[in-house]
Chain A
Amino acid sequence: MRDRNDGPSYGRRVTAAVWFRPSQQNIVFALFAVLFVLFSLFLHGFLTTDNMLTLLQNVAVLGILGLGMAVVVIGRGIDISLVASLAVPPGLVLQMVQNGHSLPYALLTAFALSLAFGLVNGWLIAYAEVPSLFATLATGLFLAGLGQVALFKLDVVQWSPGMNALTVIGQGTIAGLPVPILMFGLTAIAVMLFLRLTRIGTYIYAIGDNPNAARITGIPTRPAIVLQYVLAALVGAFAGLVLAASVNSMPTRIYNSTLIYDVILVVVLGGIGLSGGRGGVLNVVIGTLLIGTMLNAMTIMDVSYSGQNLIKGLVLLVAILADSFVNPRNEETAQQGDI
């Protein structure tokens, strides 16, 4: 027992890790591929163009939300208020247009509301140093409540003719592709460019990796954190517009649904660690594809709603367990420097 020499074994692990990194991203992607092939072979009606398009269209909104969440999670936070961002500002657009305001004016107001909401979230987390989970839980409740109490007349805000200019983002097709899928793609590219190619994007990774180090390095960490939440709120509102356009209304009670869990599922399943600094847009896409495939197949197989939840929960558990097996915490390095 006593000759447990940690040095060499650490070295071995490093070499192994360099040769093959069974990251969660790869595991989930493999799982997706296996499921996809299995369903294509054995599930009648799965591998058809129509079904593929339906599959993608159904997860487009979820994917866009996942992108917003990803920005925050990479920066070592979480935004529980994302569904409120999705429901309330777009709901406000529909309501204002219904009340006779012009569409651009309504959009501008909703934009201002989202911006303010993101700023409040960011200020609470970066400056008042409230843990992101609690801050966004509270602000999300507040915004959803505000919408239901003060802004909307009915729980479901109906589409009105004034909105028709926006119908295309939910229901149109371009070159045979449904526009929601395109919107997901465009958002993915925009978020990817932001994260990879801008200075702030790099800052967000640095903050998520090690906030103390980021601060000492001279990164303005607080403004960068505020920006994350502003971006999340705006992306959430955009997802809301796509949702409203595709179902021709804004069901504001969506705030009370389990949608936020699905968003977290997509992000975590894709391999963006909740500890921050890891992953990117590709992970969200992979997570979304896997969830989309599963949901679609379960629908075809006529699995009940509760049954679907059960399976989603199981898959998430397996993914998280796999992650902690392949990326264990290294106790030895944690002790280094403590002589």
Chain B
Amino acid sequence: MSGPILELLRATKRYGGVPAIEEVDFSLNPAEIHALVGENGAGKSTLTKVMAGVVTLTSGQMLVAGREVTPRTPLEARHLGIAMVFQENSLVPTMTVAQNLFLGREKFYNRQRGIYIAAQQFLQSLNFDVAPTTTVSLLGAAKKQMVEIARAVLHNAKIIIFDEPTASLTPEEKKYFFDLVFELKRREVSVIFISHALEEALQISDRITVLRDGRHVVTDDTRTFDRARIVQAMVGRDLSQTLYGARKQSTRRSGRRVLSVQNLRMVPMVKNTSLSVFAGQITGVFGLVGAGRTETFKVVSGVLKRDLFHGGEVMLHGRRVRYRTPAPAMRDGIVYVTEDRKVEGFFETMSIARNIYVGWLARLGRGRMRVSPREAEIVGETWIKRLNVRAISRDVKVVELSGGNQQKVVIAKSLVQEPDLIIFDEPTRGVDVGAIAEIHQLINRLAEEGRAVVVISSYLPEIMALSDRILVARQGKIVEEFSALEATEEKIMYAAIH
């Protein structure tokens, strides 16, 4: 058979109107190692989730060995021979290796000895050095991954998808992992792997596909690529220019130093990070997922719990501070606008006005015992107008709004607290195009008013469009600082990728 084993044609997936991937064509050959690269939010994960049956396409076709399929659950995908090894382990930690391997395919009378022997033989045939009787929670990251791979092979997977397989591995373990991948290839298994480490993609893959902004950019044989060509394909975009406005022509002068962080340490994400934030300008913080950006600023704003804090200093207006909960940080004028508004952003059963009013009450604190519905409406109405939140009715609950309007509500709830230092974490994630421009305007306005603004984003155009200063984080550290005028997308990306 010479045709592709897996094909996606004009694949589109929208989340509530926001496209994650749009009209993507993708093909995978038998016994091929195919690398999938792109920035965060480029649609790599969504694309692979479609293949693995975790999400279903909004439109477009998926073909396995030339036959059209629509896997709706991971189980259906597995029956088609597609298995996905997730970033987060999907093994049951309290079970043994053998039990995990045979999970879901136990016989009615499940003899432990039987599965141990079968597992032993199977692992040996793969040349995997894992004892089937070991409890999974005792294994290291690399071995867990081995078990996951073994399980995929055991389930007769013809296609195995890896999401960031090497992120948590040591160099030796990585080498071992690559050997495994080649072994899979010899067994006629096709491998798709998502990676931020371009060297790995260049080293082991047969073909590379680059995605950008949910669209397919290029697929080609690996030998025609070099690092520069990939980076260029990842960031060189015309579409985003129109969407995010032109690049900055001038930068705002920095005002007083509002925040300075010295040698902040926090296991496992933040390692000796140091940075400063100034009033009256926007400090952009760029980095790939796992670079420790969010964690650093969550420590600053008291959101992360103290047991993860391992030393270092946080100075606010030259005064040493250490917040154990967000409440005192908020009173000192620091607010954090979350990257995950559904989990820690808004109150879904409350109206828009009420959400904003809760932020206001928290700011007033002990100064206010009584609340009045009338005041809630006034406060809410003021901010709904100011941020232009659009809803079909005033009593509509926040959960029923579009992503952009939800985000505006979350921002309003923080701005009502009159902060000096505002930390936006991925302010336009899952936000529709129109609202992105409005939110960017708002962020600019805040800096103009003389507040210190931090924008954490994994999306380069956003960083480029907003920031006066750009900090680049990599592996738990701020590794590079650019002024907006000297930065280019290539330089920033180069600093962010290890």
Give residues in A with beta carbon < 8 Å to B: 1-7, 10, 14-15, 17-18, 196-199, 201-203, 205-206, 209-210, 212-222, 277-278, 330, 332-339
Contact = CB atoms under 8 A, between A and B. Distances in A.
A336 B430 contact: yes
Given A1-B70, A218-B417, A219-B362, A336 B369 contact: no
A214 B303 CA distance: 11
B400 to A, nearest CB: 5
A14 B397 CA distance: 10
Interface stretch (B94-102, B121-129, B323-331): B323-331
In the A-B complex, the 4 residue pairs with the smallest Cβ-Cβ separation, listed nearest first, are: A218-B330, A212-B344, A337-B430, A209-B347
Contacts of B17: 7
30 contacts: A2-B70, A5-B58, A5-B59, A7-B58, A10-B16, A197-B370, A198-B369, A199-B368, A203-B362, A205-B349, A209-B348, A210-B343, A210-B344, A213-B338, A213-B343, A213-B345, A213-B346, A218-B326, A218-B327, A218-B329, A218-B363, A222-B325, A278-B349, A333-B399, A334-B342, A337-B341, A337-B342, A339-B41, A339-B43, A339-B429
A335 B15 contact: yes
A302 B250 CA distance: 85
B242 interface: no
Given A18-B393, A218-B326, A219-B362, A336 B57 contact: no
A216 B386 CA distance: 22
B347 A206 contact: yes
Interface of B: 14-18, 20, 41, 43, 45-46, 55-59, 61, 70, 214, 303, 325-327, 329-331, 335-336, 338, 340-350, 357-359, 361-364, 368-373, 392-393, 396, 399-400, 403, 413-414, 417, 429-430
Nearest to B406: A336
A203 B354 CA distance: 11
Contacts of A216: 303, 326, 336, 338, 344-345
Given A197-B372, A277-B348, A277-B349, 16 more contacts: A4-B56, A7-B58, A198-B369, A202-B358, A206-B358, A210-B343, A210-B346, A210-B348, A216-B338, A217-B326, A217-B359, A218-B327, A219-B362, A277-B347, A336-B430, A339-B15
Contact of A335 (B55, B327, B393, B417): B55
A206 B364 CA distance: 16
A120 B393 CA distance: 44
A213 B372 contact: no
A220 B46 contact: no
Most buried by B among A212, A213, A215: A213
B429 A337 contact: yes
Contacts of A197: 370-372
B403 A336 contact: yes
Contacts of B344: 210, 212-213, 215-216
Contact of A7 (B14, B335, B357, B371): B14
Given A202-B371, A203-B361, A218-B363, A339 B430 contact: yes
A336 B403 CA distance: 8
Contacts of B348: 209-210, 277
Contacts of A6: 14, 16, 58
A278 B373 CA distance: 17
Contacts of A214: 347, 358
A278 B396 CA distance: 15
Contacts, number: 146
A333 B43 CA distance: 18
A336 B342 contact: yes
B20 A217 contact: no
B277 to A, nearest CB: 19
Contacts of A332: 15-16
Contacts of A339: 15, 18, 20, 41, 43, 45-46, 214, 429-430
A302 to B, nearest CB: 43
Contacts of A18: 392-393, 396
A209 B399 CA distance: 12
Contacts of B403: 336-337
B331 A218 contact: yes
Contact of A17 (B362, B400, B414): B400
Contacts of B372: 197
Nearest to B331: A218
Contacts of A201: 371
Nearest to B334: A218
A31 B399 CA distance: 29
Nearest to B301: A216
Contacts of B330: 217-218
B328 to A, nearest CB: 8
A336 B361 contact: no
A336 B400 CA distance: 12
A145 B226 CA distance: 74
Nearest to B337: A216
A335 to B, nearest CB: 6
A216 B340 CA distance: 12
B358 A217 contact: yes
B291 to A, nearest CB: 18
Contacts of B20: 339
A29 B74 CA distance: 42
Contacts of B338: 213, 216
Contact of A219 (B327, B329, B335, B400): B327
A190 to B, nearest CB: 14
Most buried by B among A10, A15, A196, A220: A220
Nearest to A193: B370
Given A198-B371, A336-B430, A217 B16 contact: no
A204 to B, nearest CB: 11
B59 A2 contact: yes
B39 to A, nearest CB: 11
A206 B348 CA distance: 9
B342 A215 contact: no
Contacts of A213: 338, 343-347
Contact of A2 (B57, B347, B357, B417): B57
